[in-house]
A and B are shown apart, each in its own frame.
Chain A
Amino acid sequence: MATESTAKAFTPDPEFLLQVRNLKEYFPITTGFMKTTMLKAVDDVSFDIRKGETLGLVGESGCGKTTIGRTILQLYKPTAGEIWFKGKKIDSKESLREFRRQAQMVFQDPYSSLNPRMTVADIVAEPIDVHKMYTNKKDREARIHELMNLVGLNTEHATRYAHEFSGGQRQRIGIARALASQPEFIVCDEPVSALDVSIQAQVINMLEDLQARLGLTYLFIAHDISVVKHISNRIAVMYLGHMMELASANELTKHPVHPYTVSLMSAVPIPDPKVSRRQQRIVLKGDVPSPLKVPEGCPFRPRCERATEACAKTCPAMREVAPGHFAACHNL
């Protein structure tokens, strides 16, 4: 998929809801007096999401996973690349307006993602207000109550302010807001990372229920691999702005092939003392390099034990190593 040449005109596949081709997002960063360096947050990433599926996106901080989510929703203007939604390219103002209604986002921080001066009803109704999706006041209120019921919030609390709720309830408010414009596609940007374990499970279950009931498609971004594994059909692994591996959730966690994914999986702490004691950990040496100084060739090369000369020269492209299992490594 990523190997497909950009020169060839892209023809959208109706099987997929969202198709991303050669997406690049660079940010100019002032590194000194009158000097700017390009921060390559996302560098040449391509992937597809089927209708009704959940694609998990994992990676460590600074790998560009949040940037991908925001760039897809056009919160950042892509430096290069194409985004196709339901067979239409998102490039004009009209296509963007329609896309804004059909694609929504759930944010990580349940505190900063809700305006502290607005009531729950007003927060949930913001998409309805912006897109004028109601006929009269009564209609608007009915929609708000419907949405609050959908995410398991007590409708009596509609006039309360967000700061009066606990983290889990606030995340429910955020999800209700994302659902208000009846979207088909939702980017979940670390929606449970800030929540306690017992509350995490509530929100994960709710996201799964909503997907089943409303036929939603998710791009689920998180750093917690066990959570991503639980909710996703397929998982993509990112490292320093590049996609390293993409496979079905079970395949990727059981049989990872990319050296980075292998060490990432072995580093996940398993909540079972006996398994944990038996676990063979591959502890990576060194730190993730700064995204301002991405190494030449394969970005993982300096920490990789299997690195060869070829790795220093060219950046490996994604290729299919098993049916539906893609990886970007020279040594496979």
Chain B
Amino acid sequence: MSLLEVQDLHTSFFTSAGEVKAVNGLSFRLEKGKVLGIVGESGSGKSVTAYSVLQILTHPGRIVSGSIRFRDEELVGKSDAEMREIRGNKISIIFQDPMTSLNPTFTIGNQLEEAILLHTNRNKKQAEERAVEMLKLVGISEPEKRIRQYAYELSGGMRQRVMIAMALACEPDILIADEPTTALDVTIQAQILELILDLQKKMGMAVIMITHDMGVIAQICDEVIVMYAGSVCERGTADAIFYHPCHEYTKGLMRSIPDMNDDEKKKLIPIAGTPIDLLHMPPGCPFAPRCDRAMKICLQEKAKEYWVGHNHLSACWQNIRDGICSTERPEEEEEEA
């Protein structure tokens, strides 16, 4: 039994201009204590996936079909009251912008205590103690003083630490981090990533890291899902994705990232074209119009996910043509040198 199992998730936004298929048939499993990265560009559906799991989609978005099982318990179809029991308690989320996710009219202590009181049977005093303890845990100095401060009195990195403290106050099983470091500077990003990894090990929780930055993925993730325009391109262990990418989009993405350790100036190889209009989704692979190796079949039909390695699935017609994929999961291979 996996901690979280998502099967064939479809989430759409029903706008006045038509249906936008934000997530289009996503499946994954998340095991206890693992860090799963979801990487993709804007409009790839990575954040919508997270919101679907927590069912905090805003109108006009809704889950069309699929199943989300948390500890073998189906979440799709649960009432809002039932979901509230899970949100913040079993599955927590931190957002990109810590300023807008904190209420400016309450002290951070108030907000932390509220989160604690909501899900545990601690009393007011115990909740305050827990709040101080949590702030200490996320590396905030003088926590007794900080709980009486307001969000605007803290810096961006500090606020993100408070958000993490709030998310972890009830010791959730899963922490979803939706671009937690995008709004932060590099040195602060390093602090926050280190903190998340450190707490993940201490508390033994699983983390879903949503980001557009392949560098962040490489730094902290065990497993990776690569998404493009609502569809999964490939998923597998971080090493498999980085060293043996099996989807044309992932390969193109790797080629277009400048290499820091490169002495000579090599030209980047960009992916041609512009992102697809989600309102006019083509029938085939969403990446096909930009893919320089696209085949006729790519434009007609979306490839299914097939195994390309022991821990590696990919949905690309190239693999099928080259015969390097299988319907059955292959045996574990020995790590190549």
Instruction: Name which residue of chain A comes closest to B269, CB basis.
Output: A201
CA separation between A295 and B158, bound complex, in Å?
Answer: 20
| Option from B190, B255, B259, B265 in Cβ contact (under 8 Å) with A281 | B190
Asked if B252 is an interface residue, CB under 8 A from chain A, the answer is: yes
Please state if A288 and B185 are interface contacts (CB–CB under 8 Å): yes
User: What residues of chain A lie closer than 8 Å to B187, measured between beta carbons?
Assistant: 60, 263-264, 267, 283-284, 288
CA separation between A198 and B275, bound complex, in Å?
Answer: 9
Please state if A229 and B260 are interface contacts (CB–CB under 8 Å): yes
Asked if B212 is an interface residue, CB under 8 A from chain A, the answer is: yes
| Option from B157, B215, B260 in Cβ contact (under 8 Å) with A287 | B157
Please state if A269 and B253 are interface contacts (CB–CB under 8 Å): no
Please state if A223 and B186 are interface contacts (CB–CB under 8 Å): yes
Please state if B271 and A268 are interface contacts (CB–CB under 8 Å): no
CA separation between A227 and B219, bound complex, in Å?
Answer: 18
| Option from A198, A208, A272, A284 in Cβ contact (under 8 Å) with B191 | A284
| Option from B41, B158, B257, B274 in Cβ contact (under 8 Å) with A271 | B257
Asked if B76 is an interface residue, CB under 8 A from chain A, the answer is: no
Interface residues of A in 261-320 (CB under 8 A from B): 263-264, 266-276, 281, 283-284, 287-288
Interface residues of B in 256-303 (CB under 8 A from A): 256-261, 263, 265, 267-272, 274-275, 290
Asked if A95 is an interface residue, CB under 8 A from chain B, the answer is: no
Q: How many residues of B contact A (CB 8 A)?
A: 47
User: What residues of chain A lie closer than 8 Å to B41, measured between beta carbons?
Assistant: 196-199
Interface residues of A in 220-257 (CB under 8 A from B): 223, 225-227, 229-230, 250, 253
Asked if A202 is an interface residue, CB under 8 A from chain B, the answer is: yes
CA separation between A201 and B257, bound complex, in Å?
Answer: 7
Asked if B254 is an interface residue, CB under 8 A from chain A, the answer is: yes
User: What residues of chain B lie closer than 8 Å to A71, measured between beta carbons?
Assistant: none
Instruction: Name which residue of chain A comes closest to B44, CB basis.
Output: A196
User: What residues of chain A lie closer than 8 Å to B193, measured between beta carbons?
Assistant: 269
CA separation between A31 and B233, bound complex, in Å?
Answer: 52
Asked if A61 is an interface residue, CB under 8 A from chain B, the answer is: yes
* Closest chain B CB from A278 CB (angstroms): 11
Please state if B257 and A267 are interface contacts (CB–CB under 8 Å): no
Asked if B103 is an interface residue, CB under 8 A from chain A, the answer is: no
Asked if B57 is an interface residue, CB under 8 A from chain A, the answer is: no
Please state if B215 and A270 are interface contacts (CB–CB under 8 Å): yes
Asked if A200 is an interface residue, CB under 8 A from chain B, the answer is: yes
User: What residues of chain B lie closer than 8 Å to A253, measured between beta carbons?
Assistant: 260
User: What residues of chain B lie closer than 8 Å to A119, measured between beta carbons?
Assistant: none
| Option from A61, A168, A271 in Cβ contact (under 8 Å) with B217 | A271
* Closest chain A CB from B302 CB (angstroms): 20
Asked if A210 is an interface residue, CB under 8 A from chain B, the answer is: no
* Closest chain A CB from B223 CB (angstroms): 11
CA separation between A281 and B215, bound complex, in Å?
Answer: 14
Instruction: Name which residue of chain B comes closest to A266, CB basis.
Output: B190
CA separation between A61 and B215, bound complex, in Å?
Answer: 20
| Option from A169, A196, A268 in Cβ contact (under 8 Å) with B215 | A268
Contacts A205-B268, A205-B270, A287-B188 given; does A200 touch B256 at CB 8 Å: yes
Asked if A166 is an interface residue, CB under 8 A from chain B, the answer is: yes
| Contact indicator per residue, chain A 107-128, by CB within 8 Å of chain B (1) or not (0) | 0000000000000000000000
Asked if B214 is an interface residue, CB under 8 A from chain A, the answer is: yes
Q: How many residues of A contact B (CB 8 A)?
A: 42
Please state if A201 and B260 are interface contacts (CB–CB under 8 Å): no
Asked if B42 is an interface residue, CB under 8 A from chain A, the answer is: yes
| Contact indicator per residue, chain B 159-194, by CB within 8 Å of chain A (1) or not (0) | 000000000000000000000000001111111011
User: What residues of chain B lie closer than 8 Å to A166, measured between beta carbons?
Assistant: 274-275
Asked if B115 is an interface residue, CB under 8 A from chain A, the answer is: no
Please state if A276 and B270 are interface contacts (CB–CB under 8 Å): no
Asked if A150 is an interface residue, CB under 8 A from chain B, the answer is: no
CA separation between A264 and B185, bound complex, in Å?
Answer: 10
Instruction: Name which residue of chain B comes closest to A287, CB basis.
Output: B155
| Option from A169, A199, A227, A287 in Cβ contact (under 8 Å) with B258 | A227
| Option from A225, A264, A273, A281 in Cβ contact (under 8 Å) with B260 | A225
Please state if A267 and B275 are interface contacts (CB–CB under 8 Å): no
User: What residues of chain B lie closer than 8 Å to A2, measured between beta carbons?
Assistant: none
Please state if A198 and B42 are interface contacts (CB–CB under 8 Å): no
CA separation between A240 and B217, bound complex, in Å?
Answer: 30
CA separation between A169 and B274, bound complex, in Å?
Answer: 8
Asked if B242 is an interface residue, CB under 8 A from chain A, the answer is: yes
Please state if B271 and A198 are interface contacts (CB–CB under 8 Å): yes
Asked if A96 is an interface residue, CB under 8 A from chain B, the answer is: no
Please state if B254 and A201 are interface contacts (CB–CB under 8 Å): no
CA separation between A223 and B255, bound complex, in Å?
Answer: 21
Contacts A196-B212, A198-B270, A287-B158 given; does A264 touch B186 at CB 8 Å: yes
User: What residues of chain A lie closer than 8 Å to B274, measured between beta carbons?
Assistant: 166, 168-169, 199
Asked if B137 is an interface residue, CB under 8 A from chain A, the answer is: no
Please state if A196 and B42 are interface contacts (CB–CB under 8 Å): yes
User: What residues of chain A lie closer than 8 Å to B253, measured between beta carbons?
Assistant: 197-198
User: What residues of chain A lie closer than 8 Å to B259, measured between beta carbons?
Assistant: 226, 230
User: What residues of chain A lie closer than 8 Å to B186, measured between beta carbons?
Assistant: 60, 223, 225, 264, 267-268
| Contact indicator per residue, chain B 299-328, by CB within 8 Å of chain A (1) or not (0) | 000000000000000000000000000000
| Supplied contacts A263-B187, A283-B187, 8 more A-B pairs, CB within 8 Å | A167-B42, A197-B256, A199-B275, A201-B268, A225-B186, A269-B218, A271-B215, A288-B185
Q: B residues touching A (Cβ–Cβ < 8 Å)?
A: 41-42, 155-158, 185-191, 193-194, 212-219, 238-239, 242, 252-261, 263, 265, 267-272, 274-275, 290
Can you give 18 A-B contacts (C-beta < 8 A)? A167-B42, A168-B274, A196-B42, A198-B253, A198-B270, A199-B274, A205-B270, A230-B265, A230-B268, A250-B263, A268-B260, A270-B260, A271-B214, A271-B215, A271-B218, A271-B257, A284-B191, A288-B188
Q: A residues touching B (Cβ–Cβ < 8 Å)?
A: 60-61, 166-169, 196-202, 204-205, 208, 223, 225-227, 229-230, 250, 253, 263-264, 266-276, 281, 283-284, 287-288
